[in-house]
Structures are given as structure tokens and as C-alpha cells.
Chains A and B, each alone.
Chain A
Amino acid sequence: MASEKPLPELGELNTPFWHAARAGTLAMQECGDCHHIRYPISHVCPKCLSETYGWTALSGRGTVFSSIVFHQVYHPAYKGEVPYNVSIVQLDEGPRMVSNVVGVPPSEVAVGQRVAVVFDPVNDEIAIPRFRPADD
């Protein structure tokens, strides 16, 4: 049986994130009280414990915070993918997220490099946000 890559399980909390991504926008939760933009997705603001929030569109721009390259296959669905890049991206609006920098050889991604989001459609509901090198 062919194993499949892990995909998000859409629930009440994370559906807006993934539907925004499918429509081509990187959106995150902004606290309705203290305006902290938070990630990972949570029902509550970790700064002020407010449960009021809205979804705000981000610029999709950021900087590579750390960059690693998987050579070991830890999940059978990634057997044909190694070596591949995983980077922590420092988004301009504050949050950091795990993603992949694509469009360059995986080992050539440099910490400090500017990147911009791209969306990799998987199905009708989901597109995975990844990043490409950017000039600014």
C-alpha cells in the first residue's frame, strides 16, 4: 500500500488557515484584544488569554531563521523526496513557521536569506505554504 504524506486534518480551528492558503493567502490569527499575531494556531492568545480573534492576511514575506536538509527517510511517503529542505521562516509580521524553501538546491538555503510564500496545491481544499527565495 502506498503511504501518503501527512496532511492537515481540517477542524474548526485550522480550516480558515488552510482555506486561505488554497485561495493564495497566508493568514494567521490576530488577537482581538492585544493584537498579537499568533502561530501555531490556537483557540486562545498565549499572551493575554483572550479567546477573541480574527484572521489577518500576512505579506507572505520573511527571512530564513534556520535551515536543515533531510537525507534520512523518517516517513515512507518521503522515500523519493530526499534530500529535501525544511526551514524555519521568520515572517515579517512576527510569527515563525516550519516550512520548506523550494526552487533552490536544498543545501543552498542560507540563514538570513529573504523568502516569499508560494502555495503548493494538494487537493481541492488544501495548498501547502512553502517559500521561494525573494529579492527584498
Chain B
Amino acid sequence: MAFLTDRIAIVGVGASEQGRLPGSTSLTLATTAFKRALDDCGLDKSEIDGLLTMPGSASPEGSLNYLRMGETLGIDPAYTGSMTMGGGTAGALIQMGAMAIACGLATNVACVFGDAAKTGGSRFSRASGGTDSWGIWGMFAAAANSAVAASRHMALYGTTSRQLGEVAVACRRHASMNPSAVMREPITIEDHQASRMIVEPFHLLDCCLISDGGVCVILTAAERAKDLKQRPVLIAGMGQGYTTQNLGREDWWYVPHQKDALDRAFAMAGLGPKDVDVAQLYDNFTMSVLLWLEHAGFCGLGEAGPFVEGGRIQLGGELPVNTAGGNLSESYMEGWLHVVEGVRQMRGACGERQVEGAEVCLVTGRGMTLNCANAMLLHPA
């Protein structure tokens, strides 16, 4: 068994309200989430000695967020830091926290995120590029990178916009069963097709929300987790993968490092795609879910379009994906709520949207210019 397998448990999860929350800041939202995660696990604030944070898009202090957060929450940690990997941050921080606990640098680690992106006016419209910005050619915003992937996937494998729509429809149906979700009105493929174009081939309903909110995830050692309030959820395997190359790498658009991250997580856990009962797959855009499905081996190369048809990724289907609604419909917490939903599914606490008898959940994250990927396999203790 690998060194980290089943050694670390996620014992507390907490989220603030989500959506448009005028008057909130990344710090107020993170504080709410932190308090709720403490309540969830039953630990006292004084017992949190690890603090790992992700600055919100509207946080002026940037990667010094760990200092601001520690000061705000009144914590002098044994171990701390911030990371800025966009949608790859949640998973990367949780994995870092797990390593810190396993190596004896901290006992109970809180991973915290808050962002007032909606009221703060964040539009995630930055242009990527190197010495010369891609903005010189009008290529702006996160949507463009995933649209490049979708365009090429469509050309090579015949993937269609309607198949992308299947992802949007599934996420929205799941959000309709989630009282905390921001967008709960069910949609159809026709609604997806009729929504306005953003960056072709993406319609509006291919794109995630922009949200205010905060999320906190608390970790501890598996043996200690038994004494806390909730049924512990163990991290069976974890893995990461990165490409720092963008156009310099021919397969950058296909995000091959996602497969690396998944292979590493599956190997650590001693599990494979057939063992996964439910998956929370990072969905900044619908296309991302298709790529995860291929990289995880749920289907073959180029086959994710047909795979998502017929409700296969909906609750009741073969592989329910993003059972709380995902970034597309629950709230855009840059993947942090994917972890929360993964934990709740493994606790069996999801009510109407619980996947009956689910014992293994895959959670993935990805951020920046498609660069940063990670995966975790969760299961109940």
C-alpha cells in the first residue's frame, strides 16, 4: 500500500451561501466557510495548526493571502501558505495539507478559499501568452483555451455541440436537486443550443458561472478522524500533473497532464475507473468534463462525446458526474465545491441526489491556461 493511501481523512467541509452576495468580501466568505467546517467536524479553532489558502480573484493581497487569512481567523499556524493555480488550487492545497499531516508538520489542516468574484466584477478575461500577449490577436479569457480544445476535439473526433450540451443538462438537473445551487431551473439540449454564443464553439450554457462564496475543507490523520463528528472520508489516492508549455507542446490542448494526475491517483489507491461510483469532474466549461472522462479511462480517446449521451452521466446513469451541479450550475468555486460534494457523497449525506451505495468518488481539478491538474479518490472509512 502506498505511503499516503488511506492515511489522511477529510473530516470537515463548510461552504458559505453562494451566488451574488453584495457586501461580502473574500475574507468574510472564507470566514463563514471556515466556521461551518469547524462545526461540521467538531474541532475547535485552537486545534487548527495548518492553514492553506487560495486567494480569491478579487483579493488584492494575492499570494500573501495566507497572512491575511491567518490574521483574520486568529490562527498562528505551524504550517501555512497560499497557492495560485486557479481551478487546480483546491486539490493541490488539500494534497499539500495531507502531506504536511503525514510528515508530522501539522495535525489538523484547514484549506480555505473565499472569493467575491461576482460582486467584485471578476470576468476571468485575462489574456495568456508569453513575451507577446495573445491579446494582440484578440484571444482573451479562460473560455478561449477550452474552446481551442473543443474546436480541435470536434475536428478530430466528430464531437458535437449537442454532446457538450449533455454535460450542461446533467449539471443543471443535479443542481435542481441541490437547495444551495445558484442555477436550479432545469434546461434542455434545445435551451443549450439556443443560448447565445460566447466563444464559438461555446454557447453561454457551456460556460461556468461567476460566483461569490467561500469553501473550507478540514483534514486530519485517519486514526484521529474516528473521534470526530462525521463519518471520516479517506483519501485513497492522489496525484497531480502539470504542463508549463502551452503552444510549445503540440498536445497542450488535450491536457495530457490530466491523464498523468489520474494515473498517479489511481495507482496510489490501487483502483481503476471501473471502481468509481460517482465523479466530481472540474467543469469550467462543458468540454473539460469530456476530456476528464477520456483521461480517466471511462471511455476511449475521442469517445467522450457519444459517452455522455443518453443520460449516462446523470443521476441514475452509469456514472453520475457533478452531482451537486458543478461549476456550471451549483456555483463557481473553482472546484472547491467538487471536493465538498465528493465528501458528502461518501458520507451518504446527499439526500435526493445521493448515489445509492457509492463507495468511491473521483474528484478532479484543473486551472490556469489548462496547465495545472490534479485528482483524488475518496472513500468512506
Flag if B196 contacts A71 (CB, 8 Å).
yes
CA distance A17 to B129 in the complex (A): 15
Per a CB cutoff under 8 Å, which of B129, B143, B155 touches A98?
B129
Flag if A40 contacts B138 (CB, 8 Å).
no
Per a CB cutoff under 8 Å, which of A17, A39, A68, A74 touches B201?
A68
Flag if B151 contacts A74 (CB, 8 Å).
no
0 or 1 for each of A28-48: is its CB under 8 Å from B? (1 = yes): 000000000011111000100
Question: Is A66 interfacial (CB-CB < 8 Å)?
Answer: yes
Total contacting residues, chain B, CB less than 8 A: 38
CA distance A78 to B144 in the complex (A): 15
Flag if B245 contacts A46 (CB, 8 Å).
yes
CA distance A96 to B252 in the complex (A): 11
Question: Is A121 interfacial (CB-CB < 8 Å)?
Answer: no
Residues of B within 8 A of A98 (CB): 129, 134, 137, 139, 247
CA distance A17 to B136 in the complex (A): 14
Per a CB cutoff under 8 Å, which of A8, A66, A100 touches B132?
A8
Report the 5 A-B pairs with minimum CB-CB distance, sorted nearest first.
A40-B130, A111-B155, A69-B200, A74-B140, A6-B135
Q: How near does chain B come to A24, taking the closest CB pair, in angstroms?
A: 18
Q: A75-B138, A86-B138, A98-B137 are in contact. Are A14 and B131 (CB under 8 A)?
A: yes
Nearest B residue (CB) for A14: B131
Between A38, A65, A95, A106, the greatest number of chain B beta carbons within 10 A of the residue's beta carbon is seen for A65
What are 18 A-to-B residue pairs whose CB atoms are below 8 Å? A6-B135, A17-B132, A39-B248, A40-B129, A66-B149, A66-B151, A66-B152, A66-B155, A68-B151, A68-B199, A69-B197, A70-B139, A72-B141, A72-B199, A84-B138, A88-B247, A96-B248, A98-B139
Nearest B residue (CB) for A10: B132
Residues of A within 8 A of B144 (CB): 68, 70, 86
Residues of B within 8 A of A40 (CB): 129-132, 246-248
Nearest B residue (CB) for A99: B137
0 or 1 for each of B136-164: is its CB under 8 Å from A? (1 = yes): 11111101100111011011100000000
Nearest A residue (CB) for B200: A69
Q: How near does chain A come to B368, taking the closest CB pair, in angstroms?
A: 16
Flag if A95 contacts B247 (CB, 8 Å).
yes
Nearest B residue (CB) for A96: B247
0 or 1 for each of B95-137: is its CB under 8 Å from A? (1 = yes): 0000000000000000000000000000101010111111111
Nearest A residue (CB) for B133: A6
Nearest A residue (CB) for B248: A46
Residues of A within 8 A of B (CB): 5-8, 11, 13-14, 17, 38-42, 46, 65-72, 74-75, 78, 81, 83-84, 86, 88, 95-100, 106-107, 110-112, 128, 130
Residues of B within 8 A of A (CB): 123, 125, 127, 129-141, 143-144, 147-149, 151-152, 154-156, 196-201, 245-248, 250, 253
Flag if A112 contacts B155 (CB, 8 Å).
yes
Flag if A72 contacts B248 (CB, 8 Å).
no
Flag if A83 contacts B200 (CB, 8 Å).
yes
Residues of A within 8 A of B147 (CB): 68
Q: How near does chain A come to B160, taking the closest CB pair, in angstroms?
A: 14
Per a CB cutoff under 8 Å, which of A8, A71, A106 touches B136?
A8
Q: How near does chain B come to A79, taking the closest CB pair, in angstroms?
A: 12
Excluding A68-B201, A74-B141, 14 further A-B contacts by CB distance (< 8 Å) are A6-B133, A8-B132, A8-B136, A13-B131, A14-B131, A38-B248, A46-B245, A66-B253, A68-B147, A72-B197, A86-B139, A88-B253, A98-B129, A111-B154
CA distance A45 to B143 in the complex (A): 30
CA distance A95 to B253 in the complex (A): 14
Residues of A within 8 A of B127 (CB): 6
Flag if A71 contacts B200 (CB, 8 Å).
yes
Nearest A residue (CB) for B201: A68
Flag if A71 contacts B148 (CB, 8 Å).
no
Between A39, A69, A97, the greatest number of chain B beta carbons within 10 A of the residue's beta carbon is seen for A69
